[in-house]
Structure 1
């Protein structure tokens, strides 16, 4: 009986894993003009440094990506960053093949704020052009549930945590954020994910992100990330130690 050489096995694995990443320049009609250029570059970076089986993965947009080396931040090994600046729920849905293939020990999802910005983009940044804006906050929430459900079905042993959307310092988005978060929390009872209520933990008395935790009213600064780590570290430690 013949056996494949190492080179042949490696080629087979490369061909197999190539299929798990999204292809094409523009992978989602909902991405704005900037993200349509950036998203493919980030996917190439993921392919260059693929996940390993059984890791902890953070999924999200720029707020996750800007956390950079999450392993160093938490002081816990094998936390991988899969944030893409500008990404939306629709874009995240298109890149779950990697997650399902490598079957992480746990995934932590924070996504949705860019979808909501697309509903109001002229109020915030008219330079960003959207081919078609996301239809409603309910659509965003439905996509977040779909992300969690797709991971659960493809990798049933992976523990799934959905973080509620962080508060921001934009009054016109407050009601939309609350609506999405309400739907996320209501559907936790279905049992395939657990909610981590970032919104409740980060909001000030006005229901906004405190000024000292952000430089632009949306993204976290160093103090904001330090608060994130202090809030979530016990959960991550529990995952790491669980058999």
Structure 2
């Protein structure tokens, strides 16, 4: 494991006292080393995929993994790099595979599982910035499209660890919006998917967290309308 990753993954379970997003100081436990069961298998599949500098890489967790991007966008160069259950530390661990491809574009949506696992907002934000920095350094011509976190919908009563943490989502999204620059475009999906009650639109989700085909269609239309796929 590379030195900078050794620093990130020093402790399996960290206990920290901090102030989070307009909340009182609290003790939270979080694990930087969690990886989904199929993480290694998926990464090996990604490595075996032919490389092309024309690729559009969609990088993230199950929300990204839940569609065939090439078919959805009618773009053969759109490649799915979503792993169900992944967190920002997992993305950092496998990011070199993406960087080595020198893709044209990288679309990143990650962080909701970090929030559900009580990883501090400040650490998630640090990891976001590490992703941007490493891509900029290792693949200078790649343009980054950093996506705001989608809302969740607690009325489905399925992913309870993700509920009651809207302040974290809102804080992180405010920070993501500050990433806008020559090399980074912010894809602000949150307003597109949120309803009047600050929840993920029920008609676009199957369980309050993941999207149905209509939800991906809305996502695709947003990307096309804003010329992010040119």
Bucket of the pairwise TM-score, normalised by the shorter protein: 0.7 to 0.9
- Asked if 1:88 is matched to 2:87, the reply is yes
Measured in 1, the distance between the counterparts of 2:228 and 2:172 equals 27
Deviation at 1:31, TM superposition (A): 4.8
Number of residue pairs the alignment of both structures matches: 196
Pick closer, same or farther for the CA change 1:81–1:94 going to 2, 3 Å.
same
Match of 1:125 in 2: none
Measured in 1, the distance between the counterparts of 2:95 and 2:152 equals 27
Match of 2:143 in 1: 159
Match of 1:183 among 175, 178, 192: 175
Unaligned stretches of 5+ residues in structure 2? 13-30, 155-162
Match of 2:166 in 1: 174
Match of 1:30 in 2: 32
Deviation at 1:138, TM superposition (A): 1.9
**Structure that is richer in helix per residue:** 1
TM-score, normalisation: structure 1? 0.74
Q: CA RMSD in A?
A: 2.2
Give CA deviations for 1:156-202 in whole Å, capped at 9, x if unaligned.
Answer: 1111110000011145121010011111112325x431101011111
Measured in 1, the distance between the counterparts of 2:36 and 2:80 equals 20
> 1:165 touches 1:181 (CA, 8 Å); kept in 2?
yes
Measured in 2, the distance between the counterparts of 1:145 and 1:62 equals 21
> 2:47 touches 2:97 (CA, 8 Å); kept in 1?
no
Match of 2:224 in 1: 233
Measured in 1, the distance between the counterparts of 2:134 and 2:102 equals 12
Deviation at 1:233, TM superposition (A): 2.0
- Which consecutive segments of 4 or more residues in structure 1 shift more than 6 A? none
**Structure that is richer in strand per residue:** 2
TM-score, normalisation: structure 2? 0.78
- Asked if 1:216 is matched to 2:190, the reply is no
Deviation at 1:239, TM superposition (A): 4.0
Measured in 1, the distance between the counterparts of 2:208 and 2:113 equals 14
Measured in 2, the distance between the counterparts of 1:238 and 1:202 equals 18
Pick closer, same or farther for the CA change 1:233–1:93 going to 2, 3 Å.
same
